[in-house]
Amino acid sequence: MSKDLKQKIYIAGHRGMVGSAIVRNLEAKGFNNFVTRTHGELDLTNQAKVAAFFEQEKPDQVYLAAAKVGGIHANNTYPAEFIYNNLMVQSNVIHHAFLAGVKRLLFLGSSCIYPQLANQPMREEVLLTGKLEPTNEPYAIAKIAGIKMCESYNRQYGASHGIDYRSVMPTNLYGPGDNYHPENSHVIPALIRRFHEAKMSNAPEVVIWGTGTPRREFLYVDDMAAASIFVMDLDKKIYDQYTEPMQSHINVGFGSDVTIAELAKAVGDAVGYQGKIGFDRSKLDGSPRKWMDSGRLNQLGWAAKVSLQQGLVLAYSDFVRTQ
Ligand SMILES: NC(=O)c1ccc[n+]([C@@H]2O[C@H](COP(=O)([O-])OP(=O)(O)OC[C@H]3O[C@@H](n4cnc5c(N)ncnc54)[C@H](OP(=O)(O)O)[C@@H]3O)[C@@H](O)[C@H]2O)c1
């Protein structure tokens, strides 16, 4: 099934950072029978339109990379939009994919599904063992519902309808197609913009909020796309050996983390910024460490390829190209 290059593949969110990387990676493998719709052409929160779309297209596989995504500021400001949009998009896509006979679906979640105080690195098993971080709780609850929806459909219809719906939980991602908005972006695109602007204006120093000591993990988006295709195409027997029916999601991380100070230095180097890097220690740091345990995926035979240094150079050239 997975080697059939003619199979019809729907990538929901194909213009987003991850969706576009999945299309790029599938194309590089020789797949070319894609179904796509922009947000303008098909609002995935609209159940009747999603039902009609699946009935018409009947794809073989679905990558569910459409979601309402944002940083802390956006999650804090628009909690209703985050929970409503994500629950609607994923419920409509998963349910109508099922009704249209889609056998394989991959749902993209996020590392924020894990409890705020989870042991590090975070294993898949810590899901639902503690309280979530309050700022992105609505988003995380939607993502957890997405995993549980895939599992529930597998448990009820897996044997009778031959469906196999899987979930992957990426760590922080960056790369081409990222959102460089000054307020609503994640840490890497925000730092790329700040270092770029400091370089262009010959600013002597870039000041980073906090102590620079918290540790975070980052994965280049094409590695994420490759991991998504790898998990989608894994033989069912092997996937089942490494997962449980009610514990079926797979972490996708880089494998190691860096301090924010190390990250800032690496971004400065990728941008070619010559000035100093300072830290405003009066600002809050956030969690000391957020790091995924990717052991399950590594045992299955996949590991990240793009180093942080290589990925930042590629991300910066994409940023410059799109300015
Ligand atoms: N970026 C990260 O660091 C990160 C980390 C962990 C997990 N993830 C997960 O990876 C997935 C993809 O994220 P991303 O970074 O690629 O986000 P993104 O760049 O914002 O892409 C999301 C795409 O979904 C589309 N979309 C959103 N709502 C829609 C709707 N109602 N109908 C149709 N299309 C809709 C967006 O279209 P518009 O832009 O036109 O709305 C956009 O093209 C998400 O599930 C996210 O949770 C991302």
Question: What atom of ligand 1 comes closest to residue 177's alpha carbon?
Answer: 19
Which residue ranges of the chain lie beneath pLDDT 70? 1-3
DSSP annotation of 292 reads B
pLDDT of residue 2: 52
From ligand 1's centre to the CA of 279, what distance in Å?
31
Q: Is the CB of 89 under 6 A from ligand 1?
A: yes
Q: Do 255 and 304 touch, CB atoms closer than 8 A?
A: yes
Question: What pLDDT was estimated at residue 210?
Answer: 93
Single out the catalytic residue among 63, 139, 174, 273: 139
Contacts of 235 (CB under 8 A, 6+ apart): none
Rounded Cα distance between 282 and 108, Å, is: 36
**What's the pLDDT score for residue 1?**
44
Q: What is the 3 state secondary structure string of 118-187?
A: CCCCECHHHCCCCCCCHHHHHHHHHHHHHHHHHHHHHHHHHHHHCCEEEEEEECEEECCCCCCCCCCCCH
Distance 180 CA to ligand 1 centre (A): 14
For 214, what's the count of Cα atoms within 13 Å in the CB-facing half-sphere?
Answer: 18
Neighbours of 229 (CB within 10 A): 22
Tell me if 256 sits within 8 A of 214, measured CB to CB.
no
Query: pLDDT tens-digit profile of 290-317?
Result: 999 999 999 999 999 999 999 999 999 9
Return the amino acid letter for 201.
S
For 194, half-sphere exposure in the C-beta direction (CA atoms, 13 angstrom radius) is 23
Q: Check pocket membership of 304 for ligand 1, CB cut-off 6 A.
A: no
Residue 73 has what pLDDT?
82
From the alpha carbon of 112, which atom of ligand 1 is closest? Answer: 6
Rounded distance, CA 209 to CA 250, Å?
32
Q: Which of 185, 187, 183, 180 is nearest to 217 (CA)?
A: 187
Helix 221-233 and helix 17-28: axis angle, to 10°? 60
The residue whose CA is least distant from atom 21 of ligand 1 is 16
Q: What pLDDT, on a 0 to 100 scale, did the predictor assign at position 263?
A: 98
Q: What is the pLDDT of residues 125-148, one digit of tens each?
A: 999 999 999 999 999 999 999 999
Continuous segment of H or E residues that includes residue 247: none
**Residue to mutate, 20, 69, 83, 250, ligand 1, most ligand atoms under 8 Å from C-beta:** 69
H or E element at residue 283: none
For the chain, the straight-line distance linking the first and the last C-alpha, in angstroms and rounded, comes to: 41
Which numbered atom of ligand 1 lies nearest the CA of 85?
Answer: 31
How far does the centroid of ligand 1 lie from the alpha carbon of residue 226, in Å?
17
- In sequence order, the β-bridge partners of residue 104 are 61, 164
d(CA 176, CA 194): 17
Query: What is the number of the ligand 1 atom nearest to the C-alpha of 173?
Result: 3
